[in-house]
Amino acid sequence: MGWGFHTFRTRFVPPIPAAIRDDFTLLRARRVETQTPMMYLMLLATTPTAAWAGAADLHWGIKYGMPALLAVLCVLGLIENWLARGRRMSLRRAQLIVKKAASVSGWVGVMCSSWAVLNWFASPVENHSSFAMIIAMGSLATAYCLSAIRFAAILNLVIGVVPISMLMLASGRPAQVGAAMSLLLGTAILVRFILQGHAMLVDLLQLQHQTRDLAHTDPLTGLANRRALDERIAALLAKGAGKGADAPGFKLALLDLNGFKPVNDVHGHAIGDKLLCAIADRLRETIGDDGLVARQGGDEFAVLIPPHSPLRDAPLAERILIALARPHAIDDVPLQVGASIGVAQWPEDGADADALFEFADRALYQVKAETRAETQPQVPSLAASA
């Protein structure tokens, strides 16, 4: 039975993929923030007619008090929404908006549904349909405005429509039974609309996520590309700028492979591409989750070691050279390449990205020049250079 419920829930209410969960929360919060003023205005407009239509024999606290309380809540909601306009939408704020909207709308739905049911029992039979109309229109409009929050929208429909519909069905009067069936059918259609809209949002965000990944990924090796590297450095610089001299530094290493061109010339570009992928895997394995490995193009790579990484104070160039020293078996052909590496550290070696790249580039080509001076031209099976 548990397995069946889980299957049913996964089929009709699928969970949000983890990769887009934060983006989905932000999108829902923005939509709720945009649509809730419409919901408040709509509910505020119905409160005078609801109070007027209330049963004459009903206690004044229910006849007038509940619509008045709803009006006060709507005014407060409009004021809060107006004051929050223009504020930055952080993930924490988005989570609070979604949670608060779901909670408040649920309690408002309970209050409105209770008001309609109490009026139903206290009113003449000929007035019953008016309460069903008031609560139905309020619930349907509220659900539409909250459609970005799937759970809150469907909960409001259930709370608002189901009780009054059951009373209409139980009345036995053909007109009320027919109206109840139409109301339930309309509710089911709206639920379907909400679920489809939710699925479309998920698909859209997944497509955006995939597009963003493609834009930041090297198609051959699967590493980050230069754009992703630049954005990560810009984020670290922006974060460090707010802390001034107390900000922890980070390292940038540029790698230029030694001996890669002869591999392409002798074995062909297909083998060369496989070698680049093998080197990328080796670098990714060496750096792990403690840094970012990027391919800049051709046989050039970069490694970014962020603050607080265990590798920040390690001899980065030596670590990479040791990892690349082992030969690579590509299609049963042992191939070995080395690398020249230049390392720059922020803020000592440059205050911005351009200065860091320039410093690391100069250090790299100094190493290359020293390597050329120390070695004699020979068969291109080259040892790594520091």
Q: Which two tokens stand for residue 91?
A: 């993930």
Judge whether 299 counts as a catalytic residue: yes
pTM, two decimals, is 0.62
In the chain the first and final C-alpha atoms are separated, in Å, by 64
* Per-residue confidence (pLDDT) for residue 381, from 0 to 100: 41
Q: How far apart are CA 181 and CA 175, in angstroms?
A: 10
Spot the catalytic one: 23, 218, 256, 299: 299
Q: Which two tokens stand for residue 372?
A: 């050329």
* Per-residue confidence (pLDDT) for residue 50, from 0 to 100: 78
On whether the CB atoms of residues 255 and 338 are closer than 8 A, the answer is no
**Peptide bond preceding 163 in cis form (omega within 30 of 0):** no
On whether the CB atoms of residues 354 and 310 are closer than 8 A, the answer is no
Q: Which two tokens stand for residue 227?
A: 């754009």
Task: Count the neighbouring beta carbons within 10 Å of the beta carbon of residue 200.
Answer: 10
Letter string b/e over residues 332-367, b meaning 16 or more CB atoms within 10 A of that residue's CB? eeebbbbbbbbbbbbbebbeebeebbebbeebbeeb
Q: Which two tokens stand for residue 243?
A: 């802390």
Burial (CB < 10 A; 0-12, 13-18, 19+), residue 300, is middle
Task: Count the neighbouring beta carbons within 10 Å of the beta carbon of residue 217.
Answer: 17
Taking the chain (386 residues) in consecutive chunks of 10 residues, what is each chunk's mean pLDDT? 52 75 89 87 83 76 84 89 85 90 88 86 81 81 85 89 90 88 90 88 87 86 92 87 68 91 88 93 89 92 90 86 89 88 91 93 88 56 37
Q: How far apart are CA 56 and CA 53, in angstroms?
A: 9
* Per-residue confidence (pLDDT) for residue 65, from 0 to 100: 85
Q: How far apart are CA 364 and CA 299, in angstroms?
A: 14
